[in-house]
A and B are shown apart, each in its own frame.
Chain A
Amino acid sequence: DSGVTQTPKHLITATGQRVTLRCSPRSGDLSVYWYQQSLDQGLQFLIQYYNGEERAKGNILERFSAQQFPDLHSELNLSSLELGDSALYFCASSVTDRAVEQYFGPGTRLTVT
């Protein structure tokens, strides 16, 4: 158990819908990272927040957005969902804003039908 929690574990929704994925980092970690894992794209970095502020952006679509709240939990919002958004979404956390050691959550499996 890494100490990073993600909810829900599984999510099934239809195209065009909007969903919110939630992540709670390890106690004491200030940085949260979101990754998407799919069969065709592999493990792709989406976005990083550090202490409430966006720190780095990767291959995140405009339909996707994220935020980190004062209690340091983070939410990833996916809208206008397409079949290709079906993937495992991982959250990771680290103490600093440098990914020297990241701890990964168990992931949320999103299926878009």
Chain B
Amino acid sequence: AQSVTQLGSHVSVSEGALVLLRCNYSSSVPPYLFWYVQYPNQGLQLLLKYTTGATLVKGINGFEAEFKKSETSFHLTKPSAHMSDAAEYFCAVSTTNAGKSTFGDGTTLTVKP
């Protein structure tokens, strides 16, 4: 079984500030981990993914995430927030044994001018 917990359903930052969205996962086998972004009235877009290898993963739009096995975490960061980053972000986990992804409840990011 696999599960995802996103800490904080709403995060608000000022433009130019650090973005940190938290994700913890549970998996009985080595996980694949993902971050997706959803803009209003749109589908989910893949930001970045971790499968194997380097634990620091860089994605689109300046986002990156670090896989920390000891902490079962995969937090998403961006050094400097832009207004265009305002959206809902989903962390997801999959495994080599499962076709499906399990998604967290999502975190809504608000960026203040």
Contacts and interface: CB of A to CB of B under 8 A. Distances in A.
B106 to A, nearest CB: 7
Contacts of A42: 103-106
B103 A43 contact: yes
Contact residues on B (Cβ < 8 Å of other chain), bracket: 20 to 34
B99 A56 contact: yes
A104 B99 contact: no
A31 interface: yes
Interface in A49-108: 50, 55-56, 58, 90, 92, 97-107
Contacts of A113: none
B42 A106 contact: yes
Residue with the greatest number of chain A CB neighbours at <10 A, chosen from B44, B46, B103: B44
Contact of B43 (A45, A98, A100, A107): A107
B77 interface: no
B93 to A, nearest CB: 10
7 shortest interchain CB distances as A-B pairs: A104-B43, A43-B103, A104-B44, A99-B94, A45-B100, A56-B99, A99-B101
Interface of B: 32, 36, 42-46, 49, 51, 90, 94, 96, 98-106
14 contacts: A4-B43, A33-B99, A42-B104, A45-B103, A90-B44, A97-B99, A99-B32, A99-B98, A100-B51, A100-B94, A104-B43, A105-B43, A106-B42, A107-B42
